[in-house]
Amino acid sequence: MPFLIENVTKVVLALFVLAVLGNFFLIAVVFLRRRRRQKYFSRVDALRERYGSIIAGVISGCIAYPDGLDELRQISSPDRLFMLERLCLEKKPTLEEEPLLRRLCEDLGLVKIWQQRLMGRIDQASLREALINPQGLLRRVKFLHFLIRSKSAESLGLIRHEPSWPLLVKALEDPNPDIQMVAVRALAAIHHPGSFLPLTEQLHKAVLGSSSSLSVRAVKAALVSFPLQSAAELGPSLRHPNSRVRFLATDIIKEMVEAEASGKTDFRLDRNNFDEETAGIFLTDLPFDSNPDVRARAAPVITFLDDPRAASTLFTLLEDSVWFVRLHAVRSMARHRFLSAGDRIARALTDANWRVREAAVRTLRGFGRPGLDLLTSHFLATRDRYSREQVADEFQRVGLIPELLMRCAETGNGRETAVLRNMAEMGKTSYMISVLEDGEGKGKLRKSFLRQFGRYPDPQIHQWVEQVAVKEPDVDVRSLAQEALAATQQRGEG
């Protein structure tokens, strides 16, 4: 106890005083910070008000370029560059605005500074500047230089400054992960063909573990954004001994092709847009790769190849021993030109794996009415319970039940009635009941349904019929329901 009483009292008192002072100090810092931020933002607002419209006018061509440039050169303050940078890059430029913004940044000297900073040539701020200005602090403390360098790389990418690509490639080897990551992004924005190979090397490094700071996903995203013509340079990667490299290269080409094909219904890969040698690898090597991931990712590219061997290769992949290869093969055939292969796709409806079955249903559904007919025929003919479940699932998800009920009411005893009967047998009646219950003007639908299914031994249907028999305002419908109910009761008693 003497230890606690005599020695500790003074220490505790000292700590208490320190803690109280600390409290007041932090409170003061909070208010000072708030004040400084307010001053900073009012300055930015004032500059934006004065020069924002000039920058917008210059890059949109509304203001004569030399006049605008002269005005902007008048900004004078210690943080002039920072303010100019902020004003110029406040909004992401459109494609049309980019050339003038690039020129403006070059003429204002920003590009040169960004390039210098990216390379690590940063003018050191004085101690005073570091204390009063956060930008000064960044320039003063060497450990924080990576923030300025990364921001510079980002700015060069934002204006797509093509001549800077070699510097950005150099930055890929920087030890700082942020600089590497931003350089990857900037190169992806600039799309210079010369940077594709260095990025591919980064991908190899990331996969093979010799570079741990870049994520595979980040490099992949950059490579995917290049035009399809660059895909040829991934040839060596497609033949790389490491199966993960092959997989990623295949996946990147797949993404490039899908981006190119997006919105073009009859897009094909031919010698005009796709390297012949690469196409050959996709037809002869990749479908037989030892890594199933490679085989799976090759399928969507093969789909687009303008080659007579493409269809048969896809059929081979449809029969692959690994389920997700079959899955990708089925998914990739969701194009109208494979409608003629509908029967082959329909075989996948009875696949052992539910995801393949589901993909087959969606692929066929994507063919529109002919695909739906195929699905309906399969649904009515198959005895495979799981396959029927899958098709019924899709019929509901895409909202087909109201249409089926309508057609059933119109045609009487057609295929639609058979589909609904099968679904009722499977106990999938919730959606039908929801349609019948919902809203007015469903008299015809209800009558038809009561005639066809009113006596069906399904608990949900029975419950609905009971309700209709009591509450339905339409006399005809109500009496049909009462008849159905009486028949069910008779059957039950019998």
Partner 1 sequence: MELWRQIFIHGMDMFNLLIVSYFFIGNGVYTLLMVLSLATVWLYNRRLSYQDMDEIRESPVTPPVTIVIPAWNEEQIILETTTSTLQTDYPELEVVVVDDGSTDSTLARLINHFHLVKMDLIYRPHIPTQAVRGFYMNPEMPNLLVVSKESGGKPDALNAGINVCRTPYFCTLDSDSILERDALLRLMRPVIHSPVNTVVSGGIVRVMNGCQIRDGRVTEVALPKSSLERFQVVEYLRSFLFGRTGWDLLGGTLIVSGAFAVFHRETVMEAGGFAHDTVTEDMDLIVQLHHWAAGNKRRIRMSFTSDPVCWTECPATLKMLGKQRRRWQLGLCQTLWKHSEMLFNRKYGMVGTFSFPFHLYVEALGAVVEFLGYFMVPLAIIFGMVPAMLYLLFVLLSLAYGGLLSIGAVLLEELTYRRYPAYGDLARLLWFAFIENLGYRQLVLYYRFEGVVRFLTGSWRWEKVTHVGVTQ
Q: Report residue 89: phi and psi, to 5°.
A: -105, 20
Residue 438 beta carbon to partner 1: minimum distance, rounded to whole angstroms: 8
Provide the 3-class DSSP secondary structure of residue 109. coil
Residue 248 beta carbon to partner 1: minimum distance, rounded to whole angstroms: 10
Distance between alpha carbon 268 and the CA centroid of its chain, in Å?
A: 23
For partner 1, the closer CB: 23 or 312: 23
Residue found under tokens 């150099």:
170
For partner 1, the closer CB: 94 or 413: 94
Burial 177-203 (b: 16+ CB within 10 A, else e): ebbbbbbbbbbbbbbbeebbebbbbbb
Question: Rounded to an integer, what distance in angstroms lies between the CA atom of residue 89 and that of residue 319?
Answer: 53
Residue 251 beta carbon to partner 1: minimum distance, rounded to whole angstroms: 9
Residue 117 beta carbon to partner 1: minimum distance, rounded to whole angstroms: 12
For partner 1, the closer CB: 311 or 357: 357
Query: Nearest 5°: CA angle at 401, between 453 and 449?
Result: 20
Residue 394 beta carbon to partner 1: minimum distance, rounded to whole angstroms: 10
E strands present in 207-323: none
Read off the tokens for 268: 């094909």
Question: Rounded to an integer, what distance in angstroms lies between the CA atom of residue 40 and that of residue 46?
Answer: 10
Cα–Cα separations (whole angstroms), residue 197 to 202, 233, 245, 331: 9, 7, 14, 31
For partner 1, the closer CB: 269 or 433: 433
Residue 430 beta carbon to partner 1: minimum distance, rounded to whole angstroms: 4
Residue 275 beta carbon to partner 1: minimum distance, rounded to whole angstroms: 21
Torsion of CA 333, 336, 342, 346, to 10 degrees: 50
Contact 287, 295 (CB under 8 A): yes
Residue 158 beta carbon to partner 1: minimum distance, rounded to whole angstroms: 8
Task: Kindly tell me the sign of the dihedral angle through the C-alpha atoms of 125, 129, 134, 135.
Answer: negative
For partner 1, the closer CB: 71 or 129: 129
For partner 1, the closer CB: 279 or 392: 392
Q: What is the CA radius of gyration of the chain?
A: 34
- Nearest residue to 484 (alpha-carbon basis) of 454, 443, 453: 454
Q: Residue 469: CB partners within 8 Å, gap ≥ 6?
A: 478, 481, 482, 484, 485
Binding site for partner 1 (CB under 8 A): 1, 4-5, 8-9, 12-13, 15-16, 19-20, 22-23, 26-27, 29-31, 33-34, 37, 92, 138, 144, 147, 150-151, 153-154, 178, 181-182, 185, 206, 212-218, 220-221, 224-225, 255, 258-259, 354, 389-390, 392-393, 396-399, 426-431, 433-435, 438
Contact 89, 158 (CB under 8 A): yes
The count of C-alpha atoms lying within 13 angstroms of the C-alpha of 213, restricted to the half-sphere facing its C-beta, is 13
Residue 31 beta carbon to partner 1: minimum distance, rounded to whole angstroms: 8
For partner 1, the closer CB: 60 or 225: 225
- 296 by Cβ neighbours in 10 Å (0-12 / 13-18 / 19+) ranks as buried
For partner 1, the closer CB: 165 or 431: 431
For partner 1, the closer CB: 46 or 398: 398
Residue type, 43: R
Q: Report residue 150: phi and psi, to 5°.
A: -65, -40
Residue 476 beta carbon to partner 1: minimum distance, rounded to whole angstroms: 26
For partner 1, the closer CB: 376 or 429: 429
For partner 1, the closer CB: 12 or 64: 12
Residue 195 beta carbon to partner 1: minimum distance, rounded to whole angstroms: 16
